[in-house]
């Protein structure tokens, strides 16, 4: 482990680091030399009561951790690998109300409530409506001539789709957008508003919606949630509210960042944009998700002493699954640093490693990405960068907060 050329004190969840870049070179170094590497942290600095965590960098090891939720718990320290500065046990307790952080068997029952809304068939049922929305989004941007791609284009379809699925009226969608931005932007000084306050407001909003649906059921996820029973009883008010929070955040931030990174990648690789415009390969959306890897890492906590990638792991250790590393693993991907929209097969782990928590919205996200780029290629194929993308300050999200472009 001593010959790893990682600078002393380097922290793979340092939010300042991600303001400039994802540490792809350092992750490649770990894959070569120390595939399960101890990332030391001053006690408490990441919001957890320990002195660091393991960085898991190889595709096979990330997958192995994902697949074993008995040995690697999501509940113990929850999944987000770096909490906002100053966070502590209270925030961890709150996070435990979210599906993402609940272990089987309870997780299985909860997930079952909404999973039917996200099957390939159900998602395909939204295709025509979302295609119309994608067209309208692009035409509105085009009329402006120039603008911020994130605000005008990338954020819109994910937001409209999740609001549609949840049953949030059109007029309230901007509120949903602002709350989800504030909840995730706690580490970014450019994002105004208090994450806890935003969560409370969204909670209040969703509970009011639940009351309304109890009296007047509709064909939406909120109605499914208020009618659902898990292990013989209805969801508690908190469980319900946090379900809505998870869907709002998970559905918005990730897909928006995939679309923004995808656009930047196309503009950096004009031959890929020309290929896309001519052929629209069905493999495009997955390559965009691999390339973007909007979630850099999620963590698990070992429930027993074990071994991973030749490294001893102790019970209670945090283990970070670095999707951003797995998706560039030379053992799995030919020429991984090449953006190649015809890449096939493409077993990326951008949506997780196929375990119990595999992204419920993967089919929806692929559809949104596909429809947005089709609309862009149809209506404004001459889109061009007018400046560099501005990166989000976050210890676990690969985000773009703004991207000046000209729409032509």
Residues that bind ligand HEM in the complex, under the rule CB under 6 A: 66, 99-100, 111, 162, 246-247, 250-251, 254-255, 258, 289, 294-295, 298, 350-353, 355, 357-361, 364-365
Nearer to ligand HEM, 77 or 255 (CB): 255
Q: Which residue is nearest to ligand HEM (CB)?
A: 361
Tell me the closest approach of the beta carbon of residue 292 to ligand HEM, in angstroms: 7
Nearer to ligand HEM, 273 or 323 (CB): 323
Tell the residue number behind the tokens 């957890």, with chain if given: 48
Rounded to whole angstroms, the Cα distance separating 369 from 387 reads 23
- Other Cβ atoms closer than 10 A to 18: 25
Tell me the closest approach of the beta carbon of residue 182 to ligand HEM, in angstroms: 19
Helix (H, G, I), strand (E, B) or coil at 145: coil
**DSSP-assigned states of every residue in 243-308:** HHHHHHHHHHHHHHHHHHHHHHHHHH-HHHHHHHHHH--TTHHHHHHHHH-SB-EEEEEESS-EEE
- Report the first-to-last Cα separation within the chain, whole angstroms: 52
Query: How long is the chain?
Result: 408
Q: What is the DSSP letter of 16?
A: H
Phi-psi region of 78 (alpha: psi -120 to 50; beta: other; left: phi over 0): left
Tokens of 189: 């000084």
Tell me the closest approach of the beta carbon of residue 103 to ligand HEM, in angstroms: 10
- Other Cβ atoms closer than 10 A to 94: 17
Tell me the closest approach of the beta carbon of residue 90 to ligand HEM, in angstroms: 21
Instruction: Confirm if 240 and 138 have CB atoms less than 8 A apart.
Output: no
Tell me the closest approach of the beta carbon of residue 379 to ligand HEM, in angstroms: 22
Nearer to ligand HEM, 59 or 357 (CB): 357
Nearer to ligand HEM, 24 or 142 (CB): 24
Tokens of 244: 């809505």
Tell me the closest approach of the beta carbon of residue 135 to ligand HEM, in angstroms: 20
Nearer to ligand HEM, 122 or 226 (CB): 122
Rounded to whole angstroms, the Cα distance separating 14 from 82 reads 9
Nearer to ligand HEM, 6 or 100 (CB): 100
Nearer to ligand HEM, 99 or 313 (CB): 99
Rounded to whole angstroms, the Cα distance separating 35 from 138 reads 43
Nearer to ligand HEM, 39 or 254 (CB): 254
Q: Which secondary-structure segment (H or E) carries 202?
A: helix 195-215
* Degrees to nearest 5, angle at CA 235 with 231 and 237: 155
Tell me the closest approach of the beta carbon of residue 67 to ligand HEM, in angstroms: 9
Tell me the closest approach of the beta carbon of residue 361 to ligand HEM, in angstroms: 2
Q: Which of 245, 149, 150 is nearest to 196 (CA)?
A: 245
Nearer to ligand HEM, 355 or 389 (CB): 355
The residues facing 302 across adjacent strands are 72
**DSSP-assigned states of every residue in 242-260:** HHHHHHHHHHHHHHHHHHH
**DSSP-assigned states of every residue in 82-102:** SPPTT--HHHHHHHTTSGGG-
Nearer to ligand HEM, 294 or 320 (CB): 294
Tell me the closest approach of the beta carbon of residue 29 to ligand HEM, in angstroms: 23
Tell the residue number behind the tokens 């969840």, with chain if given: 13
Tell me the closest approach of the beta carbon of residue 407 to ligand HEM, in angstroms: 23
Tell me the closest approach of the beta carbon of residue 10 to ligand HEM, in angstroms: 23
Nearer to ligand HEM, 34 or 251 (CB): 251
């Amino acid at each position: 482990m001593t010959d790893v050329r990682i600078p002393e004190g380097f922290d793979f969840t340092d939010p300042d680091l991600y303001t400039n870049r994802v540490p792809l070179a350092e992750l490649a170094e770990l894959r070569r030399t120390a595939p399960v590497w101890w990332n030391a942290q001053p006690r408490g600095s990441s919001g957890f009561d320990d002195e660091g965590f393991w960085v898991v960098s190889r595709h096979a090891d990330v997958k192995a951790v994902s697949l074993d939720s008995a040995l690697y718990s999501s509940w113990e320290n929850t999944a987000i690998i770096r909490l906002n500065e100053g966070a502590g046990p209270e925030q961890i307790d709150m996070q435990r109300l979210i599906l993402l952080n609940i272990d089987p068997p309870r997780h299985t029952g909860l997930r079952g409530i909404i999973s039917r809304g996200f099957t390939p068939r159900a998602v395909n049922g939204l295709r025509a409506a979302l295609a119309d929305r994608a067209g309208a989004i692009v035409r509105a941007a085009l009329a402006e001539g120039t603008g911020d791609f994130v605000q005008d284009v990338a954020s819109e379809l994910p937001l409209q789709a999740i609001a549609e699925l949840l049953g949030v009226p059109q007029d309230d969608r901007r509120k949903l957008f602002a709350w989800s931005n504030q909840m995730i932007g706690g580490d970014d000084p450019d994002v105004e508003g208090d994450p806890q306050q935003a969560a409370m407001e969204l909670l209040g909003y969703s509970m009011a919606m639940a009351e309304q649906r109890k009296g007047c059921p509709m064909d939406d996820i909120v109605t499914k949630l208020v009618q659902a029973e898990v292990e013989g009883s209805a969801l508690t008010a908190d469980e319900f509210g946090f379900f809505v929070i998870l869907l709002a955040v998970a559905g918005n931030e990730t897909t928006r960042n995939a679309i923004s990174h995808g656009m930047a990648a196309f503009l950096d690789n004009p031959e890929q944009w020309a290929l896309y415009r001519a052929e629209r390969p069905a493999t495009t959306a997955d390559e965009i998700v691999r390339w973007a890897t909007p979630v850099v890492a999620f963590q698990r906590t070992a429930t027993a002493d074990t071994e991973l990638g030749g490294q001893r792991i102790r019970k209670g250790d945090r283990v970070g699954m670095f999707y951003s590393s797995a998706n560039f693993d030379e053992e799995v991907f030919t020429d991984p640093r090449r953006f190649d929209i015809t890449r096939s097969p493409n077993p990326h782990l951008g949506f997780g490693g196929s375990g119990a928590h595999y992204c419920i919205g993967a089919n929806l996200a692929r559809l949104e990405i596909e429809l947005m780029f089709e609309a862009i290629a149809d209506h404004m194929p001459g889109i061009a960068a007018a400046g560099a993308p501005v990166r989000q300050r976050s210890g676990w999200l690969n985000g773009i907060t703004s991207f000046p472009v000209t729409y032509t």
